[in-house]
Structure 1
Amino acid sequence: MTASRGRERLWALRLMARQACHRASLRLGAVLLPLLPAPARVSLTEGAASALGPLLQAERHGRAFDTLQRLGHAPSAAAELSARFLAGRWLRQAHFQRLQSLPFSALQHVLRGMAWQDPGALWAAAAGRRRVVCLLPTGDVELALAAVLDRPGAPAHYFVNTHHRDDSPELRTLLALKRQGHRLEIGRAQQRGEAWRQLRRGATVVALLDPCPWRETGVTREPAPLRLARLANVPVLVLGHRRDGSEAGTLSVLGEFSAESLAEGATALYAAAHAFLAAAPHDWHDLDR
């Protein structure tokens, strides 16, 4: 019993030390990274992740490596992309921590500097219509969410369901947007049916979309945002963010998909989402899931 407790304590101490080092590295990165040019930030972090990632984050690196191999990548490519995934994850967290230290006016300047790729002008065409906007879990998705809500143009009514704590920086950003005059309703995950009610009142629901709904259960299941859009008979607009070395990255409008296409299996929607992920798999948040 004593030996078992000793091992448990040692494991707990290692976990605490690892978390403390990670938090310290993020604070240091938030201060030092802005002093480096963007290419240097990426190359330096990816080099460190390639050398140290398999040692310091062995489980996360291993899960990402296995997922990449299941997606068809050769072992050498999977190893490189796994290191880039770890580097991108750390860079994203350090960048977000730095942005949260800025006054809201400076953060808003970053949000409005985000590049948009929307060759079909689908975002503007959807203004004023009820719809569900789905963000893929790629790039700086929290930054992308704030940029969507703050997008200049026609007045809009948005609803976002949040899982964040009351004292979280993500929720503080949403509340700051609301104080700026945006018509934004913020719900809680435990408030079942609130997204449906807000959609019926004319709001645009913004949600995160898991593009691989079969990963956890082994059977295909309909993600909640797509089910909501199908039942409400409204279209889905799919967006994906990608880190490109700039401060805000690029947000791409991947397509608008009708409720009828969702009822038929959402084949075109999944094809667009999977193609976006395949172009930069290391930018996918769930690669290590």
Structure 2
Amino acid sequence: MAVALESAAARKIGTPDYAPTEDPNELQEQTRIIYKAMRKGKARDEILTLSGELWADIEVSKNQLPRAIQLIDQAAYELKVLGAYFENSLPPIPFRYNGARKDPNQKRNCFSLHGHEFFLRIREKITTESLAEEPPEKYHNHSRWSSKRPQLVHTPTGELQLCIVDVQRYYERYKIHDSSRGSIELKMRKVLEEAEEGVLRRKLERELGNEREEARKAKARDWESAKENKNELLGKLALVETMAKDLDRARSIRRFIAEVQATKGAPHELLEGLELMTLMADWLDPLVKAHWPGVDGVGDKNPFGSP
């Protein structure tokens, strides 16, 4: 369950600066959680490691642990001012020695700024050297050579780096380290404020993007509706044109019937077909729409299949 911290949209006027303390009991609540976890941990090659368990990962030598705890405490204080939320109730994430996470989609403990999740990573630069090996010796009766795995020596440099890591991508979005421009302690507040500003900026960009997308979808729906109306109107136009042509054909047949009737000595077959021609004209006429049994009663496809 997330632990809610003091809300703060921005640093309030009069908010005191962080005051370092060497008393473990005076550390920030979220720092004490990490401090207790580090005390229970064991060193590997003289390096103390806390990874994937809480809202911050640490990898430092014993000599640098006090400073790392102070940096964690300062970060916890500054995050409190920014209104962050901490999550420390999730189970630890398994970690491979090569640095690859077994399940990158698994949720991990972190801190949240305006709904975006990060975790802190404090890491000491460690140099690794291989001890010089003696020349391999031949076995007495074999041509094979004996071999030994080279012995590695890890040497802490005392140089620390603080990273703000995006939980979703495990991407180190912000990094600071000691330099001629200032120590990590002096840069801490600014980098955390930059992280918050980045979250707010990306959130605003997403909201604007969503608004633009909704506006685009609305225009697309309007266009689809207009296109549907257009197609409907064109369909009606085509129907009217067809009826107008059929009416012209019907009138033409009727004029022809009148000519046959008015002509003396008209061919007998035409005179006999006057009734059928009248039916044809009435069938074509969209204003009459007479039934023509010999045509309307027979479909285009044989319902009984091929003969």
TM-score (norm 1): 0.23
TM-score (norm 2): 0.22
Greater helix content: 1
Greater strand content: 2
Specify which structure has the bigger relative contact order, considering alpha-carbon pairs within 8 angstroms and separated by 6 or more residues. 1
Q: Which of these two proteins has the greater Rg computed from alpha carbons?
A: 2
